[in-house]
Chains A and B, each alone.
Chain A
């Protein structure tokens, strides 16, 4: 299968290792990965902050870039970010509709059908639950809200983690509760966001895991930012990086 990588601006700029792990993982599973460096941002930050005219232009640009990828023979667009995929699948059409751009809305609808979050792509499109990974650590999983509620990822990420050799998966209390990130919410309502984070950190620390993973580096930036500030000695690692780790590979045992 030929896959076009939607890296997301956050991963591209701050978490390049997540992108490289996604590529390595998909290639190991037999996919051919392409990357269009024309892509920038899907507009999630702008729509969530109320800048809809700007968002509409970013959506128009994004759709153009990835329609070309599909024309060049890509079967699917895959991203290591639940919230950015939710933007494409759920919000693109709404924003186009509000703006009255029905032609763009129709294009968004077609693109949505081809766009997948990494864990759902592996489990539901490739039909794989054991990716042959090795990660000898105690890990807990944060199910980000967009993955949980908009994309309804369900047990897909858990299935993948359960099959990682050496990995001990620890249940996270109140796993369906938001970590308090919420994009610009974390800055505009920093106090409330921090109160939500402190409860999330308590749950993460209670698991005794050394690593907190998830499908969204934005949430992991929030949780990791708190873990780091408190010097907890617990790290955050994107799911793609855990699934890309193999025995004898350099990244598994750190």
Chain B
């Protein structure tokens, strides 16, 4: 479910930071997966070369996206599938709804798909009286809790076993004595519920990790096998894919299927990799629809710097290493795409109009851990800084923009040595009422953000340049 009117990042983060359970859940989960990723990545001597290859494949695909998409349409159609083009969320939801209604389905089963969360598909189907049932265990947990996913790969990372047990007791009307908080027991409850759905629901909806333009093959990688059930048991399969997921050839999977599992679940290979091409009589779904979703992506592609964000293969390695994500969690980003990749993708997809979108590129200390792990080498810090420039440009020089006025004055001071040295002296005098000992513990206005939790050293009586000049003068006297 998409976020409605999300708060700007600093305000949303403040709430999350004060949730001790969330902090523990996130710290534990991200630390474990970080360590595991390091181990499995270290097994591959050519990991850096693989990253280069991944980046090259995505750059090439983006450079000829129109051509590849048209080729994909031809290939899928030839294999017996139907291709639909959706400009935005509304069009995509209409396309999917009309397919579902044509089959008179009251329920659809879903494979975990962030793209369908991006367009708010479940809500759209609900309006037509159709219930979407999430079959990924974590996504089901989020759905039952009427919550939002907080991680690209582990949507319920913010919940621990005890919380999930409580939710299942309530959702499935179980007695406390009947359910422990053992992962196996929890999974068994979901399994019993979902098995019946797999066997009876006629329409499945999936996302797509890749689509191969050459062959029309679509691919989904997953861990549970519930996705495989959705992809093979129902009569009708509808897959919704962001247009940036297309790859030129099957050969490219050699690289991507090495990069993705190690970066995402920190596994050598994910348990289930499903690849299908069109429809086959008597085997699997007899009707296959591929919905190609733009929803802002073409606009992102237009931007020479920002377009790198479209290279993302949704592995979530950047979330797991991000110190900001680890502290404040996924919901603080107010988007189905959280973490560092969300901070560059969301504002580009939805535009930099809202205060929320404008706050996202600033939700990073620019430590660079995300860039270091990205399997397709998206330079996330670079795009963050670039987008900050776009935000400042957008906000412009309004008279009330105090920050802009201050930053421009500081730049003006730095542009001239005399002004700069005068400012150093002025700071020495101006700070006097604030200094206790050699320390400033309280500053006014926006700078109170610093001193609320940290001291600041007072400006010393002599700058380095003062000391340097004194030394030079002394040298002239006593060479």
Tell me if A14 and B455 are in contact (CB < 8 A): no
Q: Among the listed B369, B371, B450, B463, which residue makes an inter-chain contact with A186, where contact means beta carbons less than 8 Å apart?
A: B450
Tell me if B323 and A191 are in contact (CB < 8 A): no
**Extra contacts besides A178-B369, A192-B17 (10): CB < 8 Å:** A91-B385, A94-B385, A98-B305, A98-B386, A182-B364, A186-B365, A186-B454, A190-B10, A190-B449, A228-B454
Tell me if A193 and B365 are in contact (CB < 8 A): yes
Q: Which residue of B lies closest to A194 (CB)?
A: B453
| Residue ranges of B at the interface with A (Cβ–Cβ < 8 Å) | 9-10, 13-14, 17, 23, 305, 323-324, 327-328, 361-369, 371-372, 382, 385-386, 388-393, 403-404, 407-408, 410-411, 413-417, 420, 424, 427, 439, 441, 446-447, 449-450, 452-457, 459-460, 462-469
Tell me if B9 and A189 are in contact (CB < 8 A): yes
| Complex alpha-carbon distance, A196 and B26, angstroms | 13
Q: Which residue of A lies closest to B31 (CB)?
A: A174
Query: What are 17 A-B pairs at a CB distance below 8 A?
Result: A7-B464, A48-B366, A50-B388, A50-B393, A52-B389, A52-B392, A52-B393, A98-B389, A145-B365, A178-B323, A182-B364, A182-B367, A183-B366, A191-B10, A191-B14, A197-B453, A226-B453
Stretch at the interface among A37-45, A104-112, A153-161: A37-45
Tell me if A61 and B13 are in contact (CB < 8 A): no
Tell me if A187 and B450 are in contact (CB < 8 A): yes
Q: Smallest distance from the beta carbon of B38 to chain A beta carbons, Å?
A: 11
Q: Among the listed B323, B404, B446, which residue makes an inter-chain contact with A187, where contact means beta carbons less than 8 Å apart?
A: B446
Which residues in chain A, 18-77, are within 8 Å of chain B measured between CB atoms? 18-20, 23, 35, 37-38, 40-41, 43, 45-52, 54-55, 57-58, 61
Known A-B contacts A94-B382, A178-B323, A185-B364; the reply to A13 vs B450 at CB < 8 A is: no
Contacts of B13 in A (CB 8 A): 189, 191-192
Tell me if A58 and B453 are in contact (CB < 8 A): no
| Complex alpha-carbon distance, A226 and B452, angstroms | 10
Known A-B contacts A46-B411, A180-B365; the reply to A229 vs B441 at CB < 8 A is: yes
Tell me if B389 and A57 are in contact (CB < 8 A): no
Contacts of A23 in B (CB 8 A): 468
Tell me if B365 and A38 are in contact (CB < 8 A): no
| Complex alpha-carbon distance, A61 and B414, angstroms | 9
Which residues in chain A, 175-228, are within 8 Å of chain B measured between CB atoms? 176-178, 180-197, 199, 221-222, 224-226, 228
Highest count of chain A CB atoms <10 Å: which of B416, B456, B460, B464? B464
Q: Which residue of B lies closest to A223 (CB)?
A: B454
Contacts of B447 in A (CB 8 A): 187
| Residue ranges of A at the interface with B (Cβ–Cβ < 8 Å) | 7, 9, 11-16, 18-20, 23, 35, 37-38, 40-41, 43, 45-52, 54-55, 57-58, 61, 91, 94, 98, 145-146, 149-150, 176-178, 180-197, 199, 221-222, 224-226, 228-229
Q: Among the listed B323, B390, B403, B469, which residue makes an inter-chain contact with A180, where contact means beta carbons less than 8 Å apart?
A: B323
Highest count of chain B CB atoms <10 Å: which of A182, A183, A225? A225
Q: List the 9 shortest-distance A-B pairs measured between CB atoms, nearest first.
A: A182-B365, A225-B454, A50-B388, A190-B449, A50-B392, A178-B367, A19-B464, A54-B411, A145-B367
| Complex alpha-carbon distance, A18 and B463, angstroms | 11
Tell me if A41 and B414 are in contact (CB < 8 A): yes
